[in-house]
Structure 1
Amino acid sequence: MEERTPRVTEVEHHGINPIPPAEQTSRPRDLFRLAFGGANTFATIILGTLPIAFGLGFWQAASATAAGVLIGALVLAPMALFGPVTRTNNAVSSGAHFGVVGRCVGSFLSLLTAITFFAISVWVSGDAVTGAARRLLGIDGGQVLRAVSYGVIALAVLVVCIYGYRFMLLVNRVAVVLGTAIMLLGIAAYGGRFDPDFAGTGTYALGEFWPTWILAALTAMANPISFGAFLGDWSRYIPATHSRRSLLAAPLLAQMATLLPFGFGLTTATLVTDAGDYITGLTAISPLWYVIPLIVVALIGGLSTGTTALYGTGLDFSSIFTRLSRVQATVLVGSLAVVFIFVGNFALDMVSSINAFATLIVLCTSPWMVIMMIGYWTRRGFYDVADLQVFNEGRKGGRYWFSRGVNWRAMGAWVPATGAGLLTANTPMIAGPLRDIAGGVDVSMVCTLATAAVLYPLLITLFPEPHEVFGPEGPRAVRTKLPNAAFAPLDGANAAFAPLSGTNVALGSSSAAASGSDGVQPDAGRS
């Protein structure tokens, strides 16, 4: 079939329905551009300033940031594997493990992340414009100018999201090159003032060094983890013929490259008077020749981060509220996010708000990702494209119906894992009753990942999943229930797909073949 690449100015008509193979024309490098472009922005710069705002010295903050980004990138990378096979986004793909109704967990996580990072991008861009106007023109528009700036930037983000994937890819291509160049130019702007021996304020956000260092690492980790629900939005346009290595490398390298904007924020935060009011302080100390490039980074970055966050949530909501098209759902979610932006910035403390949402993103999304990865491994990358769309199309049944559309095994691991993280969290705004279990050190990330990594395999071992969810090669390292003789794929013509191995192999209904008489299918034994 001839490949067709839609025009950039053509409004994308695909929602979460499977992308036709003929339109899977992207490459892993496009995934890199989107993942890096969406993070090579002022939103990431702001996250980079927070360790300094928490009271850490430069090298302390740098080590916490590097650790958070590296761990988060390693957790994130496997989430790029689903889209090329399922040809839909990761929230819908999660229906294979959480059930086609239970996959609404992924939609909730997408909404949480979208509102947070859309808000950060608009806040930062609007404040940069306001600060630059004060510096260049000597005018102080106050809250009115800020409100107008927020509104204009939010509207621009909505327009890009409405046009869809191709337009967003163009914006991120620009953001990668322009943002990188201007941040590197910052060496000339601030290099003479920077002191690597900056020791911090001496007052730690959590009272002691290690709890505050862990808080800084978790804050940095929120950036790569936040992409977990969104990688499938973009990787679904990549053919499954690409190797798993290239798909894993794209988001991993993209997140490691974000050490540039993290480093920019970390370095410049040591120069401003109040790291908690970073944008105002940065525009005040910037050379006049660098103010306009700074505005460009803020505006382009605001578009890049805002669109990568908002685009995916529009997809999800159009699948949950089926009367809404992708465009209508995007406008609805965007409008709700704008309300949050104004309330959060004018009525709440921005740094505390960002920290609270970053903590929620990490603790809620990371166990969901762990369950997805374990499921991918035990299923050998086998997914039925048609049956994943059951809930979105108002139908019932199929391989992933489980119990009323919910796989209680995955849900039974995600809820306790998230709960364990929240109970042990120790941040300024989210402090669980077990926060002192490790002497005040925040062990919430360890608890949430460990709980999911132990509980989900235990549950699918003690209570085997239906045979029908596995491919013809059978499961890996787990057993299955006796196959249901009445089961048949909902759409035999649009069959399941094998794991990424260089080819995309169509499968029929043979996955419902009979198994042993004990009612449990043993592991096929293949690696």
Structure 2
Amino acid sequence: MNTAYEAAAPLAAAPAAMKIETHGIDIIPDHERHATVFDFMRIEWGGANSLATAVLGSFPIIFGLSFWQGVAACITGVVIGGLILAPMAIFGAMNGTNNAVSSSAHFGVVGRIVGSFLALLTAICFFAISVWSSGDALVGTLHRLFGAAESEWLYGLAYGLFAGAILLVCIYGFQLMLVVNRIAVVVVTGLMIIGLIAFWPQFDQSFAGAGLAVGGEGFWPAFIGSTLIVLSNPISFGAFLGDWTRYVPRQTSKFRLMGAAFLAQVLTLLPFLFGLITATVVAAAAPDYITNANYTGGLIAVAPAWFLLPLLCLALVSGMSTGTTSLYGTGLDFSSVFPALSRVQATLLIGIISIVLIFVGRFSFSLISSITTLVTLIIVMTTPWMSVMIVGAFLRRGYYLPEHMQVFNQGKTGGAYWFRNGWNIAGITAWIPTALLALATVNIPGQFVGWLGNLFGGVDVSLIVALVLPAIIYPALLFVFPEPRAVYGPERPAPRSRVGRSNRADHLSDNHRRPENEGVVDGSGCGYCRGGPSGGRVRAA
């Protein structure tokens, strides 16, 4: 790995948790990178080790699978999703910024707003699931213990209070979020294990669901749909891993980071299986809750009385962990999309918008439709973006110019990643059609079926489309829309174009590829940038 950014400041003391974070998406200096690989893994694990994940784990039962078929769907989704996600852990440590900004290298410094949009979509989805599941648990517990009426105003109050608490943690920033996750991982894991003990006497591992035979009619759409719901959880972290790995020292092994990212997802099998097991209990004891896709309400209804308060604690603590990891990164990134806003102001704005959408999604639409639509969009939109990023990192051999990624949020133009007016045509063109085609091939029975969803006998092939096609199209497009040699570093040539290269590409190849010019953003070390065409020069917009 080679980057143009190196910090020489002395090691500073770790910041306090209750001090509001001032960093936006600017490069984190080396002397402020105190997080360890274990810290990173704990935040990622804590973000998914929650009742919200258990809600996703209940979907195989909602879709009619048996318990063991549901186990297979959960394991398949977690493992495949974890493998796809793992390479996304390396960008933050290499570039000192989040993954959306790092995507400037492959989508352009303006085109990286694609990553910002995907982060917003994911944040709203999992922030919403966290608030819904935790709020429902609170209202359900109050109903069972005190006979409180399950009215809409009580649900609204619960959602508002919980969403506000999450937003407050996100405003304080990374260090407080790290403290919350350190506590949440231990507490939630312990409570889920106690919960499995509480529900075990009612659990029947021979639960048959809708009686779908493996390979029989209706099985594959239900199985693949369930797998994709599970897989959406690891995929949802794709835009966020850099938020946390940017605080890890840049010399940290890439393989350790990828291993930690994958292991954190494997550990989420606990909440997935908790959701799956308890969903079978709810389906047997109170089937109307499963029919109405109200897993949390059913969980409260059938829980042993002694476990109600621990279950409420589980919902609140785990929801706080998942909600903060979702919302924090989006506020962080949108402070760069709208440079006039600080990180705190952007977080507050995104939080308010998300809270409004939470209420609209809960009270104006079907809850299950809201969740399946959001997770479907996450898979088909985020996976192609991740595919381009991963393939691009391989082609560049991990060579990046971090300062050149900061052009957009600094209000400037030019630089190695300016490409064509801030857009990398190859990356954008690989993303847009594959995302749309993947959306068209979605087939989640009874929930979301694209116009090509029945093309393969009802089998959902959206993941294959979203993952494989960009990995083929992006490298091929580099021969049509060549990138300047400068982005490949001094040791690797760019793909040769058969259609010729611009003066700008020639200039960057011959000048910025030289070691003495690497990292030059203002053009001060490059005669061409000082006096010739715009080339790789960065200038105020």
In the other structure, the counterpart of 1:500 is none
State which of 139, 164, 173 in structure 2 corresponds to 1:164.
173
Task: Summarize deviations over 1:401-448 as a string: whole Å, max 9, x none.
Answer: 000000000011001110120121112443222111110111111112
% same residue: 49
In structure 1, what is the Cα distance between the partners aligned to 2:379 and 2:304? 37
Q: CA deviation at 1:111?
A: 0.4
- In 2, Cα distance between equivalents of 1:479 and 1:83: 29
What letter is aligned with 1:495?
A: G
- Contact kept in structure 2, 1:386 and 1:494, CA below 8 Å: no
Aligned residue identity for 1:6? P
2:507 counterpart letter in structure 1: N
Q: Does residue 1:412 correspond to 2:439, yes or no?
A: no
Task: Tell me the distance in 2 between the aligned counterparts of 1:249 and 1:389.
Answer: 28
Shift of 1:144: 1.7
Residue type of the alignment partner of 1:345: R
Whole-Å Cα distance in 1 between the matches of residues 110 and 361 of structure 2?
A: 31
363, 367, 375: which one pairs with 1:350?
367
Q: 1:385, 1:92 → 2: CA distance?
A: 9
Determine if contact 2:81/2:231 at 8 Å carries over to the other structure.
yes
Pairwise CA RMSD of aligned residues? 2.1
Aligned AA (1:298): A
Paired residues of 1:416 and 1:451 also in contact (CA < 8 A): no
Give the secondary structure class of the aligned counterpart of 2:351.
Answer: helix
Question: 1:75-474 to 2 correspondence within 5 Å?
Answer: 75-202=84-211, 208-272=218-282, 273=286, 274-275=289-290, 276-427=293-444, 428-474=446-492
Alpha-carbon shift at residue 138 of structure 1 (Å): 2.1
TM-fit CA distance, 1:164:
0.2
Change in CA separation of 1:241 and 1:264 when aligned onto 2, cut-off 3 Å: same
Task: Give 1:3 deviation, angstroms.
Answer: 2.8
* Partner Cα distance (1:323, 1:436) in 2: 47
> Counterpart in 1 of 2:533?
none
How far the C-alpha of 1:475 sits from its partner, in A, is 4.3
CA distance in 2, matches of 1:75, 1:324: 33
Contact 2:66 2:212 in 1 (8 A): no
Amino acid at match of 2:424: N
TM-score by length of 1: 0.91
Q: SS of the counterpart of 2:413?
A: coil
Structure 1: give runs of 5+ residues left out of the alignment: 497-507, 513-527
Unaligned runs of 5+ in 2: 1-9, 529-541
Q: Kindly report structure 1 stretches of 4+ aligned residues shifted beyond 2 Å.
A: 201-204, 427-430, 461-464, 478-483, 485-489, 492-496
- Structure-1 residue corresponding to 2:519: 495
In 1: Cα distance, 2:519 partner to 2:273 partner: 47
* Structure 1 contact 65–262 (Cα < 8 Å) conserved: yes
Partner AA of 1:120 in structure 2: I
* Secondary structure of 1:110's aligned partner: helix
The structure-2 alpha-carbon separation of the partners of 1:213 and 1:135, relative to structure 1 and needing over 3 Å to count, comes to same
CA distance in 2, matches of 1:509, 1:210: 60
Q: Which amino acid aligns with 1:437?
A: L
| 1:264-319 Cα distance to aligned partner (Å, 9 max, x none) | 00000001123211111111111111111111111111111111010010011110
The structural deviation recorded for 1:188 is 1.9
Matching residue of 2:43? 34
Once the two structures are overlaid, the 10-residue window that deviates more, 220-229 or 341-350, is 341-350
Whether the 8 Å contact between 1:52 and 1:269 is mirrored in structure 2 is yes
Deviations 1:93-123 (A, max 9, x none): 0001000000000000000000000000000
Q: Residue 525 of structure 1 aligns with which residue?
A: none
Q: For 2:468 and 2:150, locate their aligned partners in 1 and report how far apart those are by CA, in whole Å.
A: 50
Equivalent position to 1:43, from 48, 52, 59: 52
Alignment of 1:510-521 (within 5 A): none
How far 1:493 moved relative to its partner? Answer: 9.9
Count of residues in correspondence between the two structures: 497
User: What's the TM-score once normalised by structure 2's chain length?
Assistant: 0.89
Q: Is the 8 A contact 2:88 2:238 kept in 1?
A: yes
- Tell me, in whole angstroms, the C-alpha distance in 1 between the residues paired with 2:144 and 2:80: 39
